[in-house]
């Protein structure tokens, strides 16, 4: 019983770590690049506009979509590792 509990705690720790990493990346890209670092990124042109504006309008959405796929793939790996895959 104790081994099963330890396995469950390790599973949720891996899950929470993955969620934390994804949220940090999402925050840095959307808030950091889109708002805080926008003046620093204004000199770099992407798609007819500056990079800071691009991150605020489109880049953060692309990164968010990429994070969804990254999370799904990593969670499938974690599920298989701990024997809880569907």
Q: What DSSP line would sit under 35-69, residue for residue?
A: IITHHHHTTSEETTEEHHHHIIIIIHHHHHHHHHH
Q: What is the pLDDT of residues 28-80, one digit of tens each?
A: 988 888 888 888 888 888 878 888 888 888 888 999 999 999 999 999 999 99
Give the pLDDT mean for 23-32: 91
Positive or negative CA dihedral for 74, 76, 78, 80?
negative
Ranges of each domain in the chain: 2-82
Q: Half-sphere exposure (CA, 13 Å, Cβ side) for 45? A: 2
Predicted local distance difference test score (pLDDT) of residue 36: 85
34 touches 60 (CB < 8 A): yes
The answer to whether 78 touches 14, Cβ cutoff 8 Å, is yes
């Amino acid at each position: 019983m104790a081994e099963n509990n330890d396995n469950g705690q390790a599973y949720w720790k891996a899950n929470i770590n993955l969620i934390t990493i994804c949220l940090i990346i999402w925050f840095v890209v959307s808030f950091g690049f889109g708002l805080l670092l926008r003046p620093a990124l204004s000199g770099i042109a992407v798609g007819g506009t500056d990079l800071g504006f691009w991150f605020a309008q489109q880049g953060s959405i692309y990164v968010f979509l990429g994070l969804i796929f990254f999370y799904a793939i990593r969670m499938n790996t974690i599920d298989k590792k701990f024997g809880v895959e569907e």
